[in-house]
Amino acid sequence: MTANAEHPNARILRAVYADLTKIADYAAPDILVHLADRTPIDPRPCRGATAVLAHEQALIRMTHGTLVMDVQQIAANDHFGAVLGTLRATRPQPVGVPFCGLWRFVDGCIVEHWENAADPALLSGILAPRSGPAPL
């Protein structure tokens, strides 16, 4: 790979952030996602490709389809990826929250993801409440 070529895992992350429902195309069946509003007392991980896809679809629904993951930087290698950007939506009310997504890969497949929002409480408070794990 040349110095200017994008790592294949960076291309995967770019595709996922362009369309969150694409995560299922790149996720291991037993993927583990650590939600942004986790706490040491209530870590609430999301387990399995089906549950992770449902989590992303719920986030899109909660924003009435206005969700945009505005990616500013991606770094990736064979094992890890990091994405910096801003989560934006206009509904149910305007929001812009910086995020840092951390990812772990095995053989080009996403096996683990840590959602990190600069202000998870603000984000959770803006999005419509739902049963189960908090939105992000």
Give 103-131 pLDDT, tens digit per residue.
999 999 999 999 999 998 887 777 644 44
Residue 109 inside a domain? The answer is yes
Q: Which domain holds residue 86?
A: 8-126
Max distance between CA atoms of the chain, in angstroms, equals 47
* Residue 115 pLDDT: 95
Residues 6+ apart with CB under 8 A from 56: 20, 21, 23
Residue 134 inside a domain? The answer is no
CATH number at residue 121: 3.10.450.50
For the CA atoms of 88, 53, 26, 38, what is the dihedral angle to 10 degrees?
70
Residue 104 inside a domain? The answer is yes
Q: How many folded domains does the chain comprise?
A: 1
Least confident span in 10-14, 18-22, 41-45, 126-130 = 126-130
DSSP alpha helices (H): ranges in the chain?
8-18, 23-26, 49-62, 120-126
Q: DSSP letter at 104? A: E
* Residue 2 pLDDT: 58
Beta-bridged to residue 9, according to DSSP, are: none
Residue 2 inside a domain? The answer is no
Q: Whole-prediction pTM value? A: 0.86
Residue 135 inside a domain? The answer is no
Distance CA 82, CA 7 (A): 12
Distance CA 28, CA 49 (A): 7
Residues 6+ apart with CB under 8 A from 14: 6, 71, 74
Contact 14, 74 (CB under 8 A): yes
Degrees (nearest 5) of the Cα angle 52, 55, 57?
A: 110
Residue 86 inside a domain? The answer is yes
Structure confidence by residue, pLDDT tens digits, 27-72: 999 999 999 888 888 888 999 999 999 999 999 999 999 999 999 9
Residue 113 inside a domain? The answer is yes
Residue 133 inside a domain? The answer is no
Per-residue pLDDT for 16 more than 70?
A: yes
